[in-house]
Structure 1
Amino acid sequence: MSNSCDYCEQKMSNYFDTCDREVCGKHSAQYHEDGSCTFGKKDRSYELRAELTRQQKNGEFVDVVVEVEGREFPCHRAVLAVTPYFQTMFSSNLAESKAKVITLHDIDSGSFSKILDFVYTGEILIGEDDVQDILQAAHMLQAEDVQECCQKFIVKNLCPSNCVGVMRLADIYGLCSLKKTARSKAVSQFSEVGRCEEFLSLSTQQLLDLLGDKELRVENEDDVVLSVIRWLDHDPESRKTEACRILPVLCLSRVRVSVLEKLEAHPAIQESPECLAKVTATKEGHFSGSPQLMADTGREEDGRKPSCGISDDLAIIVGGWKAVTQQHYSENSTPLTPLQSIICMDIDREQCYHVTDLPTPIVGCMGVASAGRYLYVTGGRASSFLHPDPGGSNTPSKQAFRYDFATDTWTRLPDMPRGRAGHQSAIVDGKLFLVGGDTAATLFNMFSMECFDIEAEAWIQPPKVPAIIPSPNLKVIACGGKVVLIQGLRKKGRFCVHALDVKTQRWTYASRSMYASARDLDKDIRATAVDSKVHLFFERYGLSDVYTYDVAKETPSIEDEKLNTEDVKEELHLVHGVCRRHKRYVKGQKGIINTISRKTYKLRVSKEITYYYVSGHTKQRLTLPFALFGHGFLAAKKSRVGWYCRDQLAEVEKEKELQDLLMYYYRSSDDDDY
């Protein structure tokens, strides 16, 4: 034990375990059953590398010289042989196996020097200026550890401006993992990539591969087209014939008119009658709001699907009053601020935009419906029931307007036969139907109706309405050539549907019992129309029950089965409003009174919009810049209302939330109503 340290000698003298390992500052010791001990010096491998490196630098005990670009590198064959390249060379019958000097060609001397340092020391310095040269040299010398270091360095410095070049580099050296990472960066940040110089060097096939990637993400489809225009302009002579290959994979129906006009005027498009016809038809389709025109222009079924994260969904909000978040307005006298405008929420960006100002002092409780690029805004009130204007009249308005989204113009329509507020609107077969609302002194006179002939621009005799029990949670929706009225009947624990066939003027009726509780039936009904079916959503215990009403059958039927995703396109959705209505009778407190039931409606507003994906039966919540009450709400499609005809829409700044003036929560048994 004379060669061990005092610590090791002491451990040997006190040895009890059959097999033990102890480590001191200099040595490691492993004791065996027969009493023997294996000692090791843990820094020995480092010292050996350091000694070999010193010898190599000083030319001591070296047995070969590697010459690269005129520079000589004295080396040890045994050390070089750790790489497959030199191991094969030294173990072959080639002249280099015994040569004193080996000359390497097609390799950078600086890169070889760094790789040689790595072989001797296990460390290498890589920078942005030499990483490609080092990777090339490491690939030639089959130094896999160095290649891995280069890949890690490249990935760490990967950005939109260099990911296209990295994809090309990875192809050259067969680095599949690096190419996958670079491609993921390119498709996830395509809007930035398309503005970089390296993007212009893509081949046609490489460009098509990127545009066809199902994970492609862009801020908007305009970026894709503008990038393609830049790509075409980079080499106009050789690429002008490639436009016919690229245009079919562009989702033109989601591109703004101003960008389509740039594409339309491009020489490569002008020289192809087929391409020119597609672009022109798409542009005209935006102005007309005609889906058929867009279907012929490389839309989803014919061309590239919209980029991941980009949808055609739009929430339109008309007027209303800005409110204090989550206030119980039957207890609060805080004045409400009118929203004298139309705003739209882009679902993709979760951003609201100011579209236009209302042409009337009427700001709330208006009916809103859309047909093509036109919005029809009818009726309403100048002030809310909560804070009526003491100096003016608050009777329901007879005014009716048509707004052209594409040209930002208003048209005054003939006044309605009678004023109406708080009603719902639906357009079927060229006719605008107004249902329910307040038409006189009685609130929630739900089933009176008006009818406007859009082509004749005249109010006509409305269909006769059957006798139906009024209820405050009426939902009106157009589907399959019918006006569909849906209501929940709390006392009967079921919901019912009345459907009017506009052509035959015939009403049909169907009802269905529900799993929902009576309280759930007081909530607003959410519905969306898909082909000839209306899908209804009722929330209970935080979950949604989905019911389907088929309007195409002669005998209407309602099914509460699971939604068949094969029958529903993925982009179809449901958006519902931001005002939550809760019914509760509170003796001695003022509220919005339902004159039919004589019960108090207490209102609590929210800034949230719930966004439903019908096919996936999932939802997400979006946030408005402010809480609203008494607004008109419409779920629409950008491509149909003229969204892409407008270049500049001002963003609505998020307002600082007002402090609740009354931080009071009820502790009674039905607190969860709030």
Structure 2
Amino acid sequence: MHDRLDSGEGNRTTIHHIKLQLLGRVSHTFIILPHFTFVKFNCLMICVQQKLVLLIPLLRLQFFYTYNYIVSIMVQIVCPNVEKHAVKMLTQLYRMKQVNDHCDFIIQVGDDVYYTHKNVLSAGSDYFKAMLKHDTTEVREGKITFKDVDSECVKNCIDFIYSGKFEIPDEKMKDLLYVAIMMQLEDVKQAVCDILEEALSVENYFSTRNIADMYGLDSVSARCRVFFHGNIMKVSNQPEFGSIELNDILKFVKSEESKLCEEEKMTLSLNWVEKSKNNEQHLHECLKAIKFDQISSTFLERLLQSNLFISRDLAVYKLIDGHRMNASKRSDKMNEEIGNDELIILFDDDTECIRSFNPINEKVEKFHDEKFDQLKHFGTISVDSYIYVFGENKSVHRLNFLIKNSKWDKMKDTICDHGSFPRPVSLSGSIFVIGGSFPTATSDVERFHSFLNEWFQLQNKPATIRYPSLVSLNDSIYCIGGEGQDGVQVSSFSKYTPFSSKWVELQPMRYPACDCGVVAIDQKIYVIGGFCGEGSTKNVECYNVTSAQWTSLSSMNDCHGWVCAHRIGKWIFAVTESEASDDIEKYDVSNDKWIMVKLEVDQCFRIYTSTLVTI
């Protein structure tokens, strides 16, 4: 860069500006004349004559001017560690505040007095900056008194201004937020919002939502809305659920996009009414929005028997009972059309379609439009109007098979890893998973509550197991066979009672096996096929619960591994994973006889697994 200097005598001298950065710490700007000039740095000499010969910067400078020529040196010192310096300054200011050193402003809350510095408050808070720049009473007196605020929260906010740190007591989150907003401390406000969002749970949902609404916390309100939509059934059990507005309840009940089935929508409406007497007058409006034609008669009957509110309100009872009778008539009409109200659902591994097997005419037809192409390696079970599949990576999905256009809904994952295709069992409306499957051997036991979409871990099985077969009978779950950790089939037979969390070992089977089909009929447990040794087996055994004795029955016609057994009327149907169209056998319980079933199908298919549903 070149400038021109007027010497005052008509002469112009060219000045060269040179800016140098040394060691990243000292910045120098030199204005150097083109003529010979000496500049003395203490005892060291620099010779400048159009070019820099030597530079040794020192802070104490002496200038020698020759004739009318000027040499100037500008030195800017930068701290080697700016952050460390800033922390040191804040620490010193905080200590000065603590001992009332050079403090010129007092903040009083009740009997508590906090000494501060005006300039620090103004720099850290727009609230104090605006207050202290005017000639107010507080400025003249050097004191401000806060009323109706929490003293500890005021102290925390003052500490934040001085140190950038503060504490957030859980029980005073709301009070701290109020003070932070008053003092216009956005960082404190945002930190509280972050904690409210992270800590959001079913238990604190309503208190968090109230705080968000009170202070206009948009991000927290948005998080509450998402949480409410995803956990509404669990939230509906909270005492404050009755405070929800009618329009919000109707929005859920009428929504076509909601993942809730009609049974859950009805449960939601009843929970809302029961939580507040003011809502009782709106129950009929909620019930009008529910599609009762998609609710099973079994569910309505159970509701009439167990719900105290319905039993007290005669008008509601008659309304629901009328819908129950209509649901029964629909069920009877379906039975007349198909000859039975039970179907065996087959998962076709070739087309990834869901098919149904009618045990009356032995026809296989398309059952539902939804495929299972996104689901791989799973066990399955049906409960009420849902088909549940339990797959790898703890995943759980379900499909409402009564709704034609329904989709697979992702449910909450299991707590423990039960392998790729665990075998679930139902008892008293809950689903249980015990042990593991490929590649996991475990003793874990879990129970799934479908309405809450929640898993609960129960008393572990005494022995680690893989590929056990499960069946429920008399409020207990029977665990049969399986593989040990060494990969060898076992003949173990045990009973688990969830209500007492007790495991009891019973008389073992006659043959060790895993992946057996199992079904309970009239206090007898039938164990069918499975894998024994190196291959599948055709063995069939029966355990009499009353006499506690095992009996061998007629063997199946063929060997079958990975058997799913289903009882329909007086028959037991054994379905196995196979590419053959005739790999279903049925067992005449009365005559102890197995019969091969020749399926009537419109195309070839491969059975992956199966479950039994009631239409």
TM-score by length of 2: 0.45
Larger RCO, structure (CA 8 Å, separation 6 or more): 1
